[in-house]
Amino acid sequence: MDSLLKRWWDEEEESDDDDLFVVGAILTGLKRKQSEKKFRGSLPGRHNVQRGIQGGHQRLYLDYFAPQPVYNNKHFRRRFRMSKSLFLRIAAALEAHDEYFRQRPNAVGALGGSPIQKAAAALKMLAYGVPADFLDEYVRLGESTIIECLQHFVRGVFDVFGEEYLRAPNVQDTQRLMAMNTARGFPGMLGSVDCMHWRWDKCPTAWKGMYTGHKEGPTMILEAVASHDLWIWHAFFGMPGSLNDINVLRRSALFDRLTSGTAPQLEYTVNGNKYTMGYYLADGIYPTWATFVKAFRNPQGNKKVHFTAAQEAARKDVERAFGVLQLWFAMIRGPARMWSKEDIWYIMQACVLLHNMIIEDEREDEDDFNYNQKGTVTKVLDPKDYEHRDPQLLEEFLKMHQEIEDKSTHEQLRNDLVEHLWAIHSSR
């Protein structure tokens, strides 16, 4: 066939161009077909692994979910990073949301993996950062199936729980943050902000220059805001590792609600001065804005030395959150081995979301906070209780940005906090 076409090509060299194009396309298709890898499917000669999927489900059920399981709740919490009740809640929600997690028969009538089997495989990959085929021996699912489980798991978790557990602070959350941080000596504080790099092992060669910065190898950046209880209130992920924290800040949505007037409005006093915007504790690279409080680079005097120590200690909240996040989910502690940026983005978002779910599930009941402690008056207003800013008006937008980036307010707030913390320290 191939020689016949070549001879036809030689004979028709001087024929119509359309005929030459057709013959050339046929020859190209034949060469491509010969070079393609032949997948045998279920033909004789292909090695088909008889995994016993139902046996994997039965083993998982007897180990953890039976009335008298082999391993108790403590073992489950250690190996799956969350309580059994939370895991079952997630598995049930995914089964209702995504048809992929429902147990269905295949073409020959054999049942596939169960919801807890697929969820357990995905969660173990996140928790241990192991390759997919490493889990085959226990969950009895193939490598490609486990990767599909992971992809459906992270997308399903984000779709079902993202609105609740990746939300920005509402009025109740803001009141709780205000009370929590006022007790620590930082009235008006909403959390601490910083960035974390995640190495991308499978970064395409053409992109390595853009994603390589001061860290070794190509990385992707996560900007986060965390509170003292390690809850992550803001997660902005996906920027190339060649950017620094200021470049990431300029692209993130950290202050979008504040500029549009949809964030809860604060009113609090520090050292006798009134402020109407919350702030974040940040390190030295961040700009001197009214919404950031930074430590002194070279503090002089007891008051500034004390303030710098207190600020650096409280700013470690976000560093602790990063550490716990990587401890619970080893996949984001090691290099990312996925090819798709979209898959990597969903994995990071799902890990942050699951982190917050675990924090909420294990949070102990706390006593009521005193919202008006000595020396401070804190008030939180719902957006519906004050005039809503029109984000389409350029004047309002620019005015709010000027207030956010006001250097004089930053200096005044920091000096007031210096006096406030020193007064607390002196009264003890």
Distances (CA, A) of 356 to 162, 165, 366: 10, 6, 17
Residues 168-219 have pLDDT tens digits of 999 999 999 999 999 999 999 999 999 999 999 999 999 999 999 888 899 9
For 248-257, the CB contacts below 8 A with 24+ separation are: 248/195, 248/221, 248/223, 249/223, 249/286, 249/287, 252/223, 254/193, 254/223, 254/225, 255/291, 255/404, 257/168
**Model pLDDT, residue 125:** 93
The structure tokens listed for 428 are 């003890």
Q: Is the pLDDT of residue 15 over 90?
A: no
Q: How far is CA 165 from CA 83, 258, 332, in A?
A: 17, 20, 19
> Which pLDDT band holds residue 22 (cuts at 50, 70, 90)?
low
As a whole-number percent, the residues of the chain with pLDDT over 90 amount to 55
pLDDT band with cut points at 50, 70 and 90 for residue 385? low
User: What's the token pair of residue 402?
Assistant: 């000027």
228 vs 180: CA distance, rounded Å = 8
pLDDT at 52: 74
First to last CA, the chain: 95
Looking up tokens 């250690």 gives 78
DSSP 8-state symbol, 82: S
Percent of the chain with pLDDT strictly greater than 70? 82
Span 316-320, mean pLDDT? 95
Residue pair 160/93 in contact by the 8 Å Cβ criterion: yes
Q: Which of 135-144, 306-315, 354-363 has the lowest mean pLDDT?
A: 135-144
Task: State the pLDDT at residue 8.
Answer: 47
> What would the mean pLDDT of 240-253 be, rounded to a whole number?
92
Are 112 and 100 spatial neighbours (Cβ–Cβ below 8 Å)? Answer: no
Q: Which among 126, 181, 130 is positioned nearest to 332, based on CA atoms?
A: 126
Position 329 pLDDT exceeds 70: yes
pLDDT above 50 for 139: yes
3 state SS of 240: strand
pLDDT for residue 49 is more than 80 = no
The per-residue pLDDT for 110 is 76
What integer is the mean pLDDT of 386-403?
69
User: For 111-115, what is the mean pLDDT?
Assistant: 84
91 or 4: which leads in pLDDT: 91
Scanning the structure block, which residue is given the tokens 């984001």? 332
Q: Output the pLDDT for position 4.
A: 47
Mean pLDDT score of the chain: 84
> Worst-scoring range by mean pLDDT, 70-74, 125-129, 140-144, 343-347?
140-144
How buried is 281 (Cβ within 10 angstroms: 0-12 exposed, 13-18 middle, 19+ buried)? buried
pLDDT for 37: 53
Cα–Cα distance measured from residue 331 to residue 124, given in angstroms and rounded to the nearest whole number: 10
Amino acid at 270: V
* Sheet of strand 189-199: strand arrangement: 232-240, 219-226, 189-199, 279-282, 292-294
Taking the C-alpha atoms of residue 290 and residue 292, their distance in angstroms, rounded to an integer, is 6
Token output for 370: 């005193």
pLDDT for position 160: 95
Tokens 């005039």: give the residue.
387
21: confidence class by pLDDT, cuts 50, 70, 90: low
Average confidence (pLDDT) over 28-50: 59
What pLDDT is attached to residue 355? 96
**How confident is the model over 144-156, as a mean pLDDT?**
93
Distance CA 428, CA 405 (A): 35
Q: Which of 34, 10, 36, 32 is nearest to 23 (CA)?
A: 10
Q: Find out whether 269 and 275 touch, Cβ atoms under 8 Å.
A: yes
Residue 61 in this model has a pLDDT that exceeds 80: yes
The burial class, CB within 10 Å (0-12 / 13-18 / 19+), for 46 is: exposed
